[in-house]
């Protein structure tokens, strides 16, 4: 009789039944393992049985496996070493980048030091000015020739302009070098205001760089009843160079077009460029149909460049300007009468008021600006004097520039009243907004002066703009 072979756990039960049927007793150690062993020897069990695993144990096997792997990693003697090497590599990489940045900073500092030493080697601001010329020479242009000949007829006048610029030229050239801009732009105040910090124009422009009110406000130059930042040489210089850099980006690096836009406005210059481009003409500065003042503006600057580049040829003897700061700034946190401070310090009365003409009444307003410009050689003395002086009377509500005005006679003739205003003749294409913007006044004031009820104006009409006495005062 062939014995049927079983492959499951019932083989152990069958073996135990055979023992009882044959009259034998079950072995003392009759557990499943021994019965399965006897079943294998008798040939009843075909394969080694698979021990059943409880369901709970099966579900926990992956977690146990992860724990075992974690314990094996944790017990790995090389894991800590590998982590240490990884942290060392990160530290080396950071040190390398820090060393590279330090080398770049050192290289930049060395370059600046060499540049400064090279500039100081000359000991003269004029030499630094010549070194920074970047605009090409246009001495072959007829207009440049005409203005060069006109200016060179009066060498004393050129010398006076150069002496007047000696207080500010170092500051302007320094700022141009820092921005990597052409140093010809340091000659622009010769054309704009003859380097006079208190210059005014008939269009309402003010200061050394001749900002009109709207453009001044656009570039952060505050204008109130007691303070006008356009007359601050430091602030106005930074604002003017910001404006010129912006124009130069708009006109793709053409400095002649940028200078023309500084005078006439970028929209006017761009409009003329578009006209010439539509007609197939050239779009450089010399080919544009610009206003008469703008056509003379750039040639005047280039004529000054020719004269200052070769002063001996034009019989001009330039006095050397030391290559160092002539002016400095000190902090002032209270209202100070600038004329009184200068007199107490033993200086001429207008020393501080001329340098700080932005304070329209000659009294500082810390709420608007808490610093003043002083001659560097007297900075220590003036600082001590200002600390001892009592605060001056607040001038916030005094009318603008009342401090400098003299008493006028109340009796005026009709003839003088007729001559009070400067007039603007309306041309084709003009409107009230453009006229007001050009002359630095508001449209509302322009309409009030001319008794206009609406914005309609006809070509040929003469509009009142500003007081003639005020214009003469600003131009004198």
Q: Which residues does the annotation mark as catalytic?
A: 192
| Percentages (nearest 5) of helix, strand, coil residues in the chain | 55, 5, 35
Query: At 55, which helix (H) or strand (E)?
Result: helix 55-74
What secondary structure letter does DSSP report for 337?
B
Residue count (the chain): 476
Cα angle at 136 between 133 and 140, to 5 degrees? 125
CA distance 235 to 224: 15
**Cα 198 to chain centroid, rounded:** 26
Cα angle at 127 between 134 and 376, to 5 degrees? 115
CA distance 381 to 379: 6
CA distance 114 to 105: 14
Cβ atoms within 10 Å, residue 346 = 9
**Interior/surface letters 4-19, b for 16+ CB within 10 angstroms, e for the rest:** eebeeeebbebbbeee
Describe the crossing of helices 142-152 and 292-309 by its angle, rounded to 10 degrees.
60
CA distance 207 to 227: 13
H helices present in 140-265, as ranges: 142-152, 155-164, 169-179, 188-192, 213-218, 233-250, 255-264
């Amino acid at each position: 009789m062939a014995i049927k072979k079983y492959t499951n756990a019932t083989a152990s039960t069958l073996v135990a039944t055979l023992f009882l049927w044959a009259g034998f007793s079950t072995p003392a150690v009759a557990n499943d393992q021994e019965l399965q062993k006897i079943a294998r020897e008798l040939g009843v069990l075909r394969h080694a049985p698979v021990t059943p695993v409880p369901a709970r144990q099966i579900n926990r096997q992956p977690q146990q496996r992860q724990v075992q792997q974690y314990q094996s990693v944790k017990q790995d003697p090389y894991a800590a070493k590998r982590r240490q090497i990884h942290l060392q590599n990160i530290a080396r990489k950071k040190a390398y980048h820090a060393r590279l940045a330090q080398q770049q900073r050192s290289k930049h500092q060395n370059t600046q030091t060499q540049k400064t030493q090279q500039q100081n080697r000359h000991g003269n601001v004029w030499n630094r000015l010549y070194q920074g010329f970047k605009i090409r020479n246009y001495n072959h242009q007829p207009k440049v020739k005409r203005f060069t000949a006109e200016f060179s007829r009066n060498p004393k006048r050129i010398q006076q302009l150069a002496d007047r610029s000696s207080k500010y030229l170092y500051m302007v050239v320094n700022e141009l070098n820092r921005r990597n801009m052409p140093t010809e732009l340091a000659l622009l105040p010769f054309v704009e205001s003859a380097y006079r910090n208190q210059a005014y124009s008939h269009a309402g422009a003010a200061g050394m760089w001749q900002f009109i009110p709207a453009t001044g406000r656009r570039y952060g130059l505050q204008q109130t009843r007691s303070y006008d930042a356009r007359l601050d040489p430091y602030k106005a210089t930074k604002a003017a160079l910001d404006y010129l850099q912006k124009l130069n980006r708009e006109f793709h690096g053409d400095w002649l077009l940028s200078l023309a836009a500084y005078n006439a406005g970028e929209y006017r210059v761009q409009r003329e460029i578009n006209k010439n481009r539509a007609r197939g003409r050239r779009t450089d500065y010399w080919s544009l149909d610009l206003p008469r003042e703008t056509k003379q503006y750039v040639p005047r600057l280039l004529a000054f460049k020719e004269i200052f580049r070769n002063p001996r040829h034009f019989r001009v003897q330039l006095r050397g300007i030391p290559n160092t700061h002539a002016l400095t700034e000190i902090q002032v946190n209270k209202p100070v009468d600038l004329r009184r401070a200068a007199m107490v310090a033993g200086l001429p009365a207008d020393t501080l008021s001329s340098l700080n003409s932005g304070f329209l009444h000659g009294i500082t307003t810390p709420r608007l600006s808490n610093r003043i410009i002083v001659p560097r050689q007297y900075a220590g003395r003036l600082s001590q004097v200002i600390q001892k002086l009592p605060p001056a009377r607040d001038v916030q509500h005094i009318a603008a520039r009342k401090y400098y005005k003299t008493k006028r006679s109340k009796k005026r003739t009709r003839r003088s009243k007729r001559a009070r205003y400067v007039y603007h003749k309306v041309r084709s294409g003009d409107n009230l907004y453009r006229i007001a913007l050009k002359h630095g006044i508001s449209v509302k004031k322009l309409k009030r002066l001319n008794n206009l009820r609406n914005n309609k104006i006809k070509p040929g009409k003469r509009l009142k703009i500003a007081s003639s006495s005020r214009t003469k005062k600003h131009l004198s």
